Amino acid sequence: MSGTDKTKVGLEIAGPVVILVEPQLGENIGMAARAMGNFALTELRLVNPRDGWPNIAAQRAAAGADHIIDHVRLFDTLPEAIADLDLVFATTARSHDQAKPVMGPEAAAREMQGQIAAGGRAGILFGRERAGLTNEEVARANRIVTYPVNPGFASLNLAQAVLLMGYEWFKLVTSGALPFAMPERSERSSQEQMEAFFENLVRELDRVEFLRPAEKRETMLVNLRNIFFRMEPSRQDIHTLHGVVMAIAEGRKGPAKGGVLDSEQATRLRALIAEQGTVANLPDSRGSLRGLARLLRRNPTDAERALWHALSRDRRFAGQFKRQTPVGRHIPDFVSFIHRLAIELVGADESEGVVTDRAARRAWLESRDYRVTEVKAADVEADLEQELVRLQAMIAEAK
C-alpha cells in the first residue's frame, strides 16, 4: 500500500531484533527491511548472506528503508548473531519434532514485549528462502513461531514472514491505534433542514415534469426521500446539495456559454437594466453590482458571445480583456485594464434610456483615463474580423 505521509515522524520503539539466516536474494533482504520499517522494527542482522554485503539489490528493494539497510549487522554464524539476546524465537512451517513451546505470532509478540519491557532483549529467526531453518538452528531458539496458514500451502515469502510478525508486534505495542481517522464533519442536518431541501428539490423536479406519470408520483417521492435520508447528511452536505439544485435550476453554464435567456431576451434584459440607471442608487450597490455582472455574464447576446470568443482566443487579444466586469460603479461590455480600454456593444433600435446610460458610462470612464470605443452588434455579426482589425489598430496607436 503506497501513500506514506512524509510530514509525519516515525515512531521509535524498542523492539525485537530480526535475524535472517543465510538469505539468498538481495531483493528479499531489501523487502524484509521495508516490512520492518512499516512496523517500527529497526535492528536487522544477517547471517552469512549468499551474495555478500552490502548488496545493491537489497538497497533498491528496501524502497526508502535506508535507516535499516545502512545499519545492518553482519555475522558469520548464528551463535554469534544471537549471543547477546535473552529470548529467541524461530519461525518455521514445520514442527522439527522438538519439545519446546509452539505459538502463533500474536502470542509470540506478547512474550517478546514482556521480555523487552523487563529490560531484556528478544530476537526472531527467519530461515532461507528455499529451505527455511535447519533442525540445529531451531534448536538454538527458546520458542517456535508458526503462522496459521493453509497446511497444504504453508510456505511464505521471506518478507511476508517478517511483515506478519512485525504487524502483530506493532499492533500490540500501539494498542492497534490507526494512523488517521475520518475527518470531523459538521453536525448532522436537522429534520427541518432536510425537509426544506426536499421541498426545494421537488419544486424543481415538478418544473421539469420529472415526477410523472401522476400515478407514480408518490412512489417516486418516497424513493427519493429514502435516498437522501439514508445518507444522514451533515448541515454542510445539505448546503452543498441546495447549491447543486439551484445551479441546475438556474442554468449556470459558465461565462460566454449562454445562460437562462436566449439572445433576444438577453438584449431586452440589458436594455431594461440600462433604463433603470444601472445600480448606483441601490442600498447595497457594491453587492448588487457583482450580482448584476454575474447575471450579464451568464446571458450574453449573440454578438457579445461572438466578440468574446474572438477576444479570449485570438492571439492578438487573448488574456487582455474581461467581460461584464465592474469598473467602479459601471459595467462595460468588455474592458482591458492593461490598455485602459472599454468596448461598448451598440444594439439596433436602442431606446433613449439605453443611449443616455451609455453616454453617462462613457463620460465616467473617460474622466478616469479610459478610452471607450463603440462597436455595433450588427457589424460584429456581419464582419467580425474587420472589427478586430480596427480594435488592434486602436491598441497599437496607444503604445
pLDDT tens, position by position, 227-262:
888 888 887 788 788 778 877 776 644 444 445 555
pLDDT greater than 60 at residue 367: yes
pLDDT digits (tens, 9 = 90+) for 154-209: 788 899 999 999 999 999 988 877 776 665 556 777 888 888 888 888 888 888 78
pLDDT value for 387? 92
pLDDT digits (tens, 9 = 90+) for 113-149: 999 999 999 999 999 988 889 999 999 999 999 998 8
pLDDT value for 296? 66
Q: How far is CA 271 from CA 106, 239, 258, in A?
A: 79, 35, 18
Bridge-based pairing state of the strands 102-103 and 122-126: unpaired
More confident residue, 265 or 61: 61
- pTM over 0.75, yes/no: no
CA 192, CA 356: separation in Å to the nearest integer? 49
Strands ordered across the beta sheet of 341-346: 322-323, 334-336, 341-346, 371-376
pLDDT value for 14? 85
User: Could you tell me the end-to-end alpha-carbon distance of the chain, in angstroms, rounded to an integer?
Assistant: 59
Say which residues have a Cβ less than 8 Å from residue 84's Cβ, sequence separation at least 6.
Answer: 121
Cα 217 off chain centre by: 38
Q: Which helix (H) or strand (E) holds 125?
A: strand 122-126
pLDDT greater than 90 at residue 371: yes
pLDDT greater than 70 at residue 283: no
pLDDT greater than 90 at residue 90: yes
pLDDT value for 261? 52
**Mean pLDDT along residues 314-334:** 86
Q: In which band, very low, low, confident or very high, does the pLDDT at 331 lie, cut at 50, 70 and 90?
A: confident
More confident residue, 397 or 389: 389
Q: Which of 2-11, 82-91, 344-353 has the highest mean pLDDT?
A: 82-91
Do residues 329 and 285 make contact, with C-beta atoms less than 8 angstroms apart? yes
CA 75, CA 49: separation in Å to the nearest integer? 9
**Mean pLDDT along residues 63-69:** 87
- Smallest CA-to-CA distance from 189 within 221, 246, 229, 226 is with 229
CA 85, CA 71: separation in Å to the nearest integer? 18
pLDDT value for 71? 92
Question: Cβ atoms within 10 A of the Cβ of 215, count?
Answer: 7
Cis peptide before 300 (omega within 30 of 0): no
- Smallest CA-to-CA distance from 86 within 143, 33, 169 is with 143
Question: In whole angstroms, how large is the CA radius of gyration of the chain?
Answer: 38
Mean residue pLDDT across the chain: 82
- Fold type of domain 17-173: Alpha/beta knot (3.40.1280)
pLDDT greater than 70 at residue 9: no
Q: In which band, very low, low, confident or very high, does the pLDDT at 268 lie, cut at 50, 70 and 90?
A: low
Q: DSSP class of residue 213?
A: S
Where, residue-wise, is CATH 1.10.8 in the chain? 191-250
CA 279, CA 191: separation in Å to the nearest integer? 39
For 336-378, the DSSP string reads ETTTTEEEEEE-TT--HHHHHHHHHHHHHHHTTT-EEEEEEHH
pLDDT greater than 80 at residue 303: yes
For 223-248, the DSSP string reads HHHHHHHHH--BHHHHHHHHHHHHHH
- Smallest CA-to-CA distance from 382 within 284, 306, 289, 292 is with 306
What is the percent of the chain where pLDDT is above 90?
Answer: 36
* Single-letter residue type at 376: K
CA 66, CA 278: separation in Å to the nearest integer? 68
Do residues 44 and 36 make contact, with C-beta atoms less than 8 angstroms apart? yes
What angle (nearest 5°) sits at the alpha carbon of residue 80, between those of residues 76 and 83? 165
pLDDT greater than 70 at residue 29: yes
Q: What is the CATH number of domain 263-398?
A: 3.40.960.10
| Chain position carrying cell 457589424 | 379
Where, residue-wise, is CATH 3.40.1280.10 in the chain? 17-173
More confident residue, 290 or 281: 290
- Fold type of domain 191-250: Helicase, Ruva Protein; domain 3 (1.10.8)
Q: Which of 205-209, 222-226, 290-294 has the highest mean pLDDT?
A: 222-226
Where, residue-wise, is CATH 3.40.960.10 in the chain? 263-398
Q: Which helix (H) or strand (E) holds 73?
A: strand 73-75
Bridge-based pairing state of the strands 87-91 and 122-126: parallel
